[in-house]
Structure 1
């Protein structure tokens, strides 16, 4: 009687394991890059959304702040409306948003990535600035080669400088 064996040989199983290992070696770093890029893009979008609020406060004669409103101050201090992000380091208060020159035409605000952000982008600062002419710009600083930062993480509208 001829008994046909069923199943895979050891060599066939080893080949499948090797192929899965090669695919994982390529896919995991790509996934980490996509995650870091997505995190930076998300925070850039969140802080850029505050431009209209800052412009409205500034144009009404108020001072843009990241803390509580103080309507008795001169000029009136009005909160920009930042509610925070789990990707932003908030150890310095105000949910991690820092406003500079809030009462002047050339105001700016920034956040530092941290907390739940990928190690490759943690410590990077995203700054949104308004010129005296009313033009807004965005820039990313920090994130040297020590943390694994890649310039491809920065979205097109907010370059790494």
Structure 2
């Protein structure tokens, strides 16, 4: 049987995340604090400012918790056969695969959060099982353009 580790993306955050791993890796937490300029532990455990609703802080917070969870699990169990990540979680999968170090991951996800924080509001919708031609017709009637159908 294959072992797969899949890392979640934004939306998986919650106050209290990382409670089991943040104290286990104080040097890495300190490194993240220095890079980010605020205490990541307080953001993760208490939702302290800048908080867990702002993508600029959520993205590095999730990276840190997922990366530390990976390090803890790697010490305790078998290595996975495969690594995967959903959206932001891809950065943790790349870290776990050895593509870059922890500090680089914190910097990358901080920058990603900053860029996404500046992006205009938008939305996403998944309509599963609908006829693509019918959807295109409905969008056209509504004067909606710039929508990708896959």
TM-score, normalised relative to structure 2: 0.26
Structure with higher Rg: it is 1
Q: Which has the higher contact order (CA 8 A, sep 6+)?
A: 2
More helix by share: 2
